[in-house]
Amino acid sequence: MKKGFIFDLDGVIVDTAKYHYLAWKKLANDLGFEFTKEQNELFKGVSRKRCLEILLEIGNREATQEEFDTWMVEKNIDYLKYIEHMDASEILPDVPKVLNYLKENNIPIALGSASKNARPILEKVGLLSYFNVIVDGNNVTKAKPDPEVFLIAAKQLGVFAENCVVFEDAVAGIEAANTAKMASIGIGDASVLDKAKHNFNDFTEISTDFISQLIHK
Ligand code: B16
Ligand code: MG
């Protein structure tokens, strides 16, 4: 039975949340209000457009369509300045261990991310060549928890959805994987990601034996 493995980007492969935070905080401050790290938690796995809507709710700010569009662009320009400097040192611990194991076993690998900047980030950290398929914010019409991103990835991998495994750090992403009937693996706080089929704090806790079991299940 052919298996496929799908990885989320932010919070699974790299920690770009810290850069998203700095860029959103700058925009909030420019608009005259504060934006905290705790509030940034609400943005994980959420599309850029929805993040700005939430930010404006936090700041109790109205926006014309033109302002909204301008602020989306400004935030992204600022964010791009941060990711410009990313390199392999930003890959989260033991992610290459799992990617290499999958490659050695000829298992196809996909990215399933909400980010429209996924490709340049993978390129900068040197992981682009591992991915047979990349589905990101440029390819989807419905954001997680809708399963669209993972279903497109499965289709492009040529693997049945029920034979896919998804690594995710966001509640909405776990929900999307579960709805797609994929095996969801929560990376992060198990009490938050309590709907995941399996939970790990990070990839250092995931053994190649466990990956092997998933492949041969
Ligand atoms: P961009 P993921 C998500 O990445 C981030 O977690 C989320 O905070 C961000 O708003 C979203 O990508 C869109 O990113 O502004 O680069 O298009 O976790 O789905 O890989
Ligand atoms: Mg994520």
| For ligand 1, mutation pick of 12, 16, 42, 116 (most atoms within 8 Å of CB) | 16
Mean pLDDT, residues 40-45 taken together: 92
Residues in the ligand 1 pocket, defined by CB under 6 Å = 8-11, 20, 43-48, 51, 76, 113-117, 137, 170
Q: Is the per-residue pLDDT at 1 higher than 90?
A: no
pLDDT in tens, 60-80: 999 999 999 999 999 999 999
**Domain ranges, ordered by start, for the chain:** 4-15+90-216, 17-83
Radius of gyration over every alpha carbon of the chain, rounded to an integer in angstroms:
17
**Atom 12 of ligand 1, nearest CA residue:** 115
Cα of 98 from ligand 1 centre, angstroms = 22
Strand partners, 183: 165
Cα of 9 from ligand 1 centre, angstroms = 8
Mean pLDDT, residues 180-194 taken together: 97
Ligand 1 atom closest to Cα of 9? Answer: 20
Residue 37: HSE in the Cβ half-sphere, 13 Å Cα cutoff: 2
User: Given its phi and psi angles, is residue 181 left (phi above 0), alpha (psi -120 to 50 degrees) or beta?
Assistant: left
pLDDT in tens, 110-166: 999 999 999 999 999 999 999 999 999 999 999 999 999 999 999 999 999 999 999
Domain 17-83 adopts which CATH fold? DNA polymerase; domain 1 (1.10.150)
Q: Is the per-residue pLDDT at 168 higher than 90?
A: yes
* CATH placement of domain 4-15+90-216: 3.40.50.1000
pLDDT for the residue 190: 97
The tokens of 81 are what?
A: 């300045």
pLDDT for the residue 52: 98
Average pLDDT, the chain: 97
Q: Is the per-residue pLDDT at 21 higher than 90?
A: yes
Catalytic residues: 8, 10
Q: Is the per-residue pLDDT at 93 higher than 90?
A: yes
**Atom 16 of ligand 1, nearest CA residue:** 115
Q: Is the per-residue pLDDT at 14 higher than 90?
A: yes
Cα of 59 from ligand 2 centre, angstroms = 24
Mean pLDDT, residues 3-16 taken together: 98
Q: Give the distance, in angstroms, between the CA of residue 140 and the centroid of all CA atoms in the same chain.
A: 13
pLDDT for the residue 92: 98
Domains 4-15+90-216 and 17-83 share a fold: no
pTM for the whole structure: 0.96
